[in-house]
């Protein structure tokens, strides 16, 4: 069966520190992968999406970057975190014939 | 650009009763999909129901059904026989048929089911 894994579940980081969030999908090949962010009490905003290895599209200008080093791996990074980077980050993917399933999310608090 | 509007920040319902959550959207496209996602306190995003715009028949999934009014650009969610486990934030979302998973979300409605 197909599953999506995202970690860590929670993360507390100081301002100016680096960030690396990882997402992997199992049971499929060449999935479309996405990073969304949810600010407190609000809807989700698409940050990045990838249709293949090394192919990254950014939806909004920001302090974050994404990479796809392997077919089923999607990484969200930052060199120096800002307070405004705090939020709930969700990885997602498109199963064949379906539309968007989400990982369990990472709550990032930048202090 | 597409927009999705949920005008009810909060709703409440008694257990076993029916509740309807509202959603309107704006698009110039003819081929698109609409979704309702549920986000319980665990914050996991769970797909509740989806509707293809080319289908006139309203989608139904057990106790969940939609009222899709394409001309009015309205997409409401009806929850019948509400259960305590339905307590969650509900998001309406839109995606163009030509896009990848680039969902546009509404701001959400917090639904509380009371015993």
DSSP assignment string, A38-84: E-TTS-EEEEEEEEETTEEEESS--S-EEEEEETTEEEEEESS--GG
Segment A65-106, tens digit of pLDDT: 999 999 999 999 999 999 999 999 999 998 666 678 899 999
Q: Is the peptide bond before A50 cis (omega within 30 degrees of 0)?
A: no
Q: How far is CA A21 from CA A55, A75, A88, in A?
A: 18, 6, 11
Q: Is A2's pLDDT higher than 80? A: no
Measured between beta carbons, the chain B residues lying within 8 angstroms of A92 are 45, 101
Residue B101 sits at the chain A interface (C-beta within 8 Å): yes
The larger pLDDT score, comparing residue B26 to residue B96, is at: B26
pLDDT at residue B18, rounded to an integer: 98
Contact state of B103 with A46 under an 8 Å Cβ cutoff: yes
Q: Give CA–CA dist B113/B12, Å, rounded.
A: 6
pLDDT at residue B100, rounded to an integer: 66
Measured between beta carbons, the chain B residues lying within 8 angstroms of A34 are 100-102
pLDDT at residue A29, rounded to an integer: 85
pLDDT at residue A96, rounded to an integer: 64
pLDDT at residue A5, rounded to an integer: 92
pLDDT at residue B102, rounded to an integer: 80
Segment B6-31 shows an average pLDDT of 96
- What are the start-end ranges of the H helices in chain B? none
Contact state of A100 with B47 under an 8 Å Cβ cutoff: yes
pLDDT at residue A61, rounded to an integer: 72
pLDDT at residue A75, rounded to an integer: 97
Measured between beta carbons, the chain A residues lying within 8 angstroms of B103 are 36, 44, 46, 100
For an interface test with B, give the residue of A31, A36, A43 to mutate (most B CBs within 10 A).
Answer: A43
Binding-face residues of B in 31-60 toward A, CB within 8 A:
33, 35, 42-47, 50
Measured between beta carbons, the chain A residues lying within 8 angstroms of B91 are 43-44
Residue B78 C-alpha, separation from nearest chain A C-alpha, in angstroms: 20
Segment A28-64, tens digit of pLDDT: 888 899 999 998 777 888 999 998 999 999 888 789 9
SS3 A84: helix
Segment B55-107, tens digit of pLDDT: 989 999 999 999 999 999 999 999 999 999 999 999 999 988 777 668 889 99
The model's confidence at residue B21, banded by pLDDT at 50, 70 and 90, is very high
């Amino acid at each position: 069966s197909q599953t999506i894994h995202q970690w860590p579940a929670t993360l507390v980081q100081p301002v100016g520190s680096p960030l690396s969030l990882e997402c992997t999908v199992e049971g499929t090949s060449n999935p479309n992968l996405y990073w969304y962010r949810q600010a407190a009490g609000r809807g989700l905003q698409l940050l990045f999406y990838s249709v293949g290895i090394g192919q990254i599209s950014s939806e909004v200008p920001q302090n974050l970057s994404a990479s796809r080093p392997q077919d089923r791996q999607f990484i969200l990074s930052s060199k120096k975190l800002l307070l405004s980077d705090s939020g709930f980050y969700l990885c997602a993917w498109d199963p064949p014939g379906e539309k968007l399933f989400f990982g369990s999310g990472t709550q990032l608090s930048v202090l | 650009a597409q927009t999705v509007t949920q005008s009810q920040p909060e709703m409440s319902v008694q257990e076993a009763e029916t509740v309807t959550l509202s959603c309107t959207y704006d698009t110039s496209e003819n081929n698109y999909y609409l979704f309702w996602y549920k986000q319980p306190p665990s914050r996991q995003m769970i797909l509740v129901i989806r509707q293809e715009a080319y289908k006139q028949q309203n989608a139904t999934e057990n106790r969940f059904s939609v009222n899709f009014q394409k001309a009015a650009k309205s997409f409401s969610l009806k929850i019948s026989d509400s259960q305590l486990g339905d307590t969650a934030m509900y998001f309406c979302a839109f995606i163009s048929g030509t896009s990848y998973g680039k969902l546009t979300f509404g701001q959400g409605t917090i639904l509380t089911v009371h015993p």
